[in-house]
Amino acid sequence: MEGKYYNKQKYLNLLSKDYRTIGEVTEEIINLKAIMNLPKGTELFLSDIHGEYEPFVHILNNGAGIIRDKIDNIFENTITEKERSTLATLIYYPEEKLKLIKTEVDNLDEWYSVTLYRLVQIAKKVSSKYTRSKVRKAMSTGFDYIIDELLHSQEEGANKEKYYKEIINTIIDLERADEFIVALSLLIKRMAIDHLHILGDIYDRGRHPDLVMDSLMKFHSLDIQWGNHDILWMGATCGNLASIANVIRICARYNNIGLLEDGYGINTRPLSTFALETYKNDKCEKFMPKVFEYNKYDHSDRKTVAKIHKAITVIQFKLEGQIILKHPEYHMEDRLLLDKINFKNGKVIIEGKEYTLNDTNFPTIDPNDVYKLTYKEKELIERLAYSFKTSERLNKHIKFLYQKGSMYKTFNSNLLFHGCIPMEKDGTFKDVEFLGEKVNGKKYFDKINTAASRAYFDNKGNEEEKDAMWFLWSCKDSPLFGKEKMATFESYFIDDKDTHKEPKNPYYHYIEDKEVCYKILKEFGLKGEDAHIMNGHIPVKAKDGESPIRAEGKLFLIDGGFAKSYREKTGIAGYILTYNSHGLLLSKNKTFTSIDDVIKEETDIVSEIIVKEHLERKMVGDTDIGRKLEQEMNDLKELLDAYRNGKILQTK
């Protein structure tokens, strides 16, 4: 007890350095109490972005639809639909839209005056739930004082109204209206979304996960839950060779080698040279890259990409085989398939059944040692590994994933993760042998967090943790994968589509059960009717009638097909889930063309509301931040008592 008292006294002495008088302490207590009675800020949940930069950045720019809602709420009865659309687009993309507007408007000064007035009204609306201090911090430097005056000026009274108008007129006269419009637009966007949650899979399939990462690094407040595609890139950057081969294979499969070359400066020319030499007379028809609307006019030689695709795929199977043989504790012997090939008759045995291969040209595979890399393959993958480990931009992005990311997050009574909690068929948490210890549930997730960090930051280069990154990508016991097998070999080399199926972990059956969801929430320290599970990873086939809402509203599956390659299956363009002071709002995106169309045609993402879950209105005091503020207030009250009874002396 004496030690506890000493530590508390020491803490209060330190606290007194920041709050030196009774007046300063009481002022801060009043401030914190006031903050706790403000409405909670809006949270936005997005999942499985998969490199789709344009729709992703547009959702950030339109505040997940919040900005347009505010515009309609304020101006629905005073300005036209067209004017509201122009105003919304101006806020989303102020610099680009201003260039177009200047070519269309006759009296620019009058337009500036009206527009600035309207933008101030919107800024007032979106910032009304925040403290004046927080809003000031979000303002662009150079205009912060002026914006603050406009936001908090009262228009009643002739003197104040004149003061208000003079500020606007002076901004226009000094030819600073454009910059001021940009500053107001940035503030509106900043205030629309208070916190962003990314539930995994930023990488793969889409063209620009690198630009998505750039945008995330600029966002004011966010967290990331790693997805299986993120962990793959993290493993590749750690230097795991099998992960590197998988990353390159997926880039080739989606005709996106340019991401490696142009986005991250990874030299793939040696791989291209090797592939063209090795598969010179091979059409590699099964390895032709996928063609979608966004890449069908790509000028890259698809035949060359197909050869690269096949070359790296064979290397991948060899490297994966080496890891599986090295780690019997992974229990992935069923994925050792190269040694099941009969190279004489072109057949392979899988799970006791024989299948005919649709491609039997394997010039680099030694039938007597199928998992051994040739000298050229070994040299090639090592050069690629060096490029991954030394890419400045890639490492910048991966470090950010570590800084802001983890396997899961509990935030304001919600549990966020990407994949699943591995379960047995009876609904119990599955014990998984991971790095020498059998773990399940939360303990498993925590152990992964530690292992992933060691794989990247341990200068000694712990190979066990690096191999574990690949395990997390593809093993049936990985909470990020959550399927019985990754049927990559079968999808390339066997025509029988039954072999391509990847049965899901029992978790995906049990998420329909409300009691199981309660059990999962309890495992992670959450309880109560307001607690939910937010989950990504498995695309919801909305077009087939699947619902993202499971277990009577306890769980939300929000992977709705952000990636264009999934939209044929899902029928939509992703889900948007927001959580504001009034409750949860889930919408599905139906259309998005391009940012260029938004700017020129004033289109927007068309969304359809799926569910509104109204909760008792949440104030800041009801949130995780509120609980921290409560503790701060308690500490300040103790400091106040110490000042009043003379245990600590005021210093000012």
- Which tens digits make up the pLDDT trace of 116-166? 999 999 999 999 889 888 998 888 778 888 888 888 876 555 566 788 888
Is 444 or 301 the better-scoring residue by pLDDT? 444
**In this predicted structure, what is the pLDDT of residue 538?**
86
> What confidence score (pLDDT) does residue 133 get?
87
pLDDT band at 1 (very low <50, low <70, confident <90, very high): very low
The pLDDT-based confidence of 459 (bands split at 50, 70, 90) is low
What average pLDDT does the structure give for the chain?
Answer: 92
Distance CA 108, CA 106 (A): 6
pTM above 0.75, yes or no: yes
pLDDT at 292: 58
Q: Residue 462: its pLDDT value, please?
A: 82
Q: What pLDDT score was predicted for residue 297?
A: 43
The total of other beta-carbon atoms located within 10 Å of residue 323's CB is 22
Is residue 539 within 8 A of residue 419, CB to CB? The reply is no
Two tokens, residue 215: 């945008």
Residue 568: per-residue pLDDT: 74
Kindly state the DSSP code that residue 204 receives in the 8-state scheme. Answer: S
Instruction: Give the pLDDT confidence score for residue 561 in this predicted structure.
Output: 77
pLDDT of 565 reads: 74
Q: Which of 3-12, 159-168, 198-207, 247-256 has the lowest mean pLDDT?
A: 3-12
3-state secondary structure of 503: coil
Going by C-alpha positions, the residue among 305, 273, 466 that lies closest to residue 383 is: 273
Q: Percentage of residues in the chain with pLDDT exceeding 70? A: 96
The least confident of 1-15, 336-350, 383-397 is 1-15
Yes or no: say if 153 and 166 are a contact pair by the CB < 8 Å rule.
Answer: no
- What is the four-CA torsion angle of 555, 404, 58, 391, rounded to 10 degrees? -130
CA distance readout (Å), 342 to 314, 349, 442, 492, 503: 16, 8, 44, 17, 27
Looking at residues 308-329, what average pLDDT do you find?
A: 98
Q: Taking residues 564-588, what's their average pLDDT?
A: 84
Cα–Cα distance measured from residue 205 to residue 230, given in angstroms and rounded to the nearest whole number: 12
The pLDDT tens digits for 529-571 are 889 999 998 888 888 888 899 999 999 999 877 877 777 777 7
pLDDT at 567: 77
Joined tokens for residue 353? 């059944």
pLDDT surpasses 70 at 289: yes
Averaged pLDDT, 262-280: 96
Among 213-227, 509-523, 605-619, whose mean pLDDT is lowest? 605-619
